Amino acid sequence: MIKLSKILKEQLQVALENAFPKSSKKICDSGSRLDPQLVSASKPEFGDFQVNGALSLAKIIKQPPREIANAIIEELLKNQDFLKICKKPEIAGPGFINLTLKDEIIIQEIKNLLIDDRLGVPLVKEPNSRTKVSPVIVDFSSPNIAKEMHVGHLRSTIIGDSLARVLEFRGYSVLRLNHVGDWGTQFGMLITNLKRKAPEVLTKPNAINIGDLVNFYREAKKHFDEDKNFKDESRNEVVKLQNGDQASLKAWKLLCEQSRREFKKIYDYLNIKITERGESFYNPYLQEVVDELDSLDLLVNDQGAKCVFLTDFLGKNGKPLPVIVQKSDGGFNYATTDLAAIRYRFRTSPHGDGACRLIYVTDEGQANHFAGVFRIAKLANWIPANAQIEHVPFGLVQGEDGKKLKTRSGETVKLRDLLDEAVDKAKIDLCNRLKEECREESDEFIENVSRTVGLAAVKYADLSQNRITNYQFSFDRMLSLQGNTAPYLLYALVRIAGIARKGGTFGKLEYHIEFNKSQEWELAKKLLDFDRIIMEVEEELLPNRLCNYLFELSQIFNRFYDQLSVLKANEPSRSSRLALCELTAKTLKLGMNLLGVSTLERM
């Protein structure tokens, strides 16, 4: 209902200006307008929209809120265009105005959505516009080379993918970047250890599997911490790598390629599209970062290290905290690489991406790091005035005991193992239900449904949480057919598909629609709210808002389905209810697709 809300807001502003011309002129002279504060109604009994502005305007206009509300309504009732859209406004409480759309407006909006694949969600630009929309960069997933993806990568990967999907649907050009850890001291350690234990790995492709590579890395880290000679050798290997030694570069590329293949298996399994651009990509720009910060007098030499001291980031002693940009040995660190990435991403082509918005999806533990890096980038004027840069933090995945999710042996859970277990449990649950129902299905059906439900359950369970908080991982809860789960949403779709199989005809060019039951109106109004939810997710970067909407829509549809007949109803109720079923299915499918969740028509 975004289009309708824009029309109503403009009508309300005109009504305010006509009712209070002096106050309006005063506000207008300051470059603004009186704000009616139009929002969606918080409860169905309040109508479809609420006007909350009378309370805050009371101090400006110097009249009681209810008098202001009455004056606004008097002006609205003079507006014939408003009267075509809304029933007579009502005042509630201290001065709220409740607006209810006319029945014929809701029915027309439902008809519009039935023939609109975008379900009312506007594009950020017109399809035929020649105006180029600057790209939005979503930086997510970001595993480390020579390490297996674990449960800690789950949230970044699926939250980032969902946000990218929503932004792409809105019409933005989205760069999905995987800032993998593919450079630095860990490669010096790993190459040194492999030279000693398995030198063939450094010269031949596919000479080692990812599990063995991880074990070699753990062993290398132990040697690095305990053996001075090993530490010196490792650092020499890093210097060789940084200086472009061909043998070192070849070994590095082989190790990266091995990890890359394993990462791709996970991304393909989860249907994630992402472009790798690791830390190594920004190596040529690191010294430029230091030189430019130095030229701006932002760097301070602190015991040989080049640092930026941020006056608005204070330590426990009350003194500004340093962000090291170049270490005392001349090396660079994560902050340097992230600064180089910001600088490159905002710079215009051919020396950058020309982005208008950067979104970093990482755990909340990196919040201070990014706050400092963003602050330095702002001081260096690397962030354009009309651009946005945001950290999207998320909490931990915990076990049902409230502790960090680990295996029984105390190790971090591998992501692929977690996903496979979800599919296995979904398969067991499905087979038990088929047995109870005396249903026989093909092996292909069982495998497809198990995989779809298992992966959907894991993704949706994560996305349905407020990302800022920790959440407890429970297979039983996420695979349940009850509650805010993927199977519950999928079951609503299966019900609608069943109506089609039993003779319901969807896709009519012209439905004759009349609603006469409260369940029909409730479902219709919920369907009209989809566009607003998508715009909120784009702005606030909270996928759980979309999950909550889809769950509520499924609840309302299930009540509608349980309480009203569809196929056996007389006309025009039969057509009207089929239209609502079709639109519910379209909305659920689109919404779940934007979450990266696959759907089914039978389960």
pLDDT digits (tens, 9 = 90+) for 12-65: 989 988 888 877 777 776 667 778 899 998 888 889 999 998 888 888 888 899
Alpha helices (runs of H) in 102-245, residue ranges in sequence order: 103-114, 152-169, 185-197, 210-226, 228-242
Element spanning 392, H or E:
strand 388-394
Of residues 42 and 156, more confidently modeled: 156
The crossing angle, in degrees rounded to 10, of helices 103-114 and 573-594 is: 60
Distance CA 345, CA 390 (A): 13
pLDDT confidence tier of residue 351, bands split at 50, 70 and 90: confident
pLDDT confidence tier of residue 399, bands split at 50, 70 and 90: confident
Q: Residue 246 corresponds to which amino acid? A: Q
Q: What percent of the chain has pLDDT over 70?
A: 97
Distance CA 19, CA 267 (A): 58
Q: Is the pLDDT of residue 411 over 80?
A: no
Q: Is the pLDDT of residue 426 over 70?
A: yes
Range 437-460 average pLDDT: 95
Range 300-316 average pLDDT: 87
Nearest-Å Rg of the Cα atoms of the chain is: 29
Considering only CA atoms, which of 365, 364, 372 is closest in space to residue 393?
364
Range 526-555 average pLDDT: 97
Considering only CA atoms, which of 190, 238, 226 is closest in space to residue 210?
190
How high is the pLDDT of residue 129?
A: 57
How high is the pLDDT of residue 289?
A: 96
CB atoms near residue 293 (< 10 Å): 22
Distance CA 525, CA 44 (A): 9
Distance CA 117, CA 589 (A): 11
How high is the pLDDT of residue 174?
A: 96
The crossing angle, in degrees rounded to 10, of helices 530-540 and 152-169 is: 120
Q: Is the pLDDT of residue 409 over 80?
A: no
Q: Which CATH superfamily is domain 282-394 in?
A: HUPs (3.40.50.620)
How high is the pLDDT of residue 117?
A: 93
In tens, the pLDDT along 79-126 reads: 999 999 999 999 998 899 999 999 999 999 999 999 999 999 999 875
Range 440-454 average pLDDT: 95
- Cβ neighbors of 329 (< 8 A, separation 6 or more) are none
- CATH class, domain 2-101, is alpha beta
Considering only CA atoms, which of 571, 532, 569, 570 is closest in space to residue 549?
532
How high is the pLDDT of residue 131?
A: 60
Strand order in the sheet with 90-92: 38-40, 49-51, 96-99, 90-92
Boundaries of CATH 3.40.50.620 in the chain?
Answer: 282-394
Boundaries of CATH 3.30.1360.70 in the chain?
Answer: 2-101
pLDDT confidence tier of residue 509, bands split at 50, 70 and 90: low
Of residues 125 and 593, more confidently modeled: 593
What is the reported pTM?
Answer: 0.91
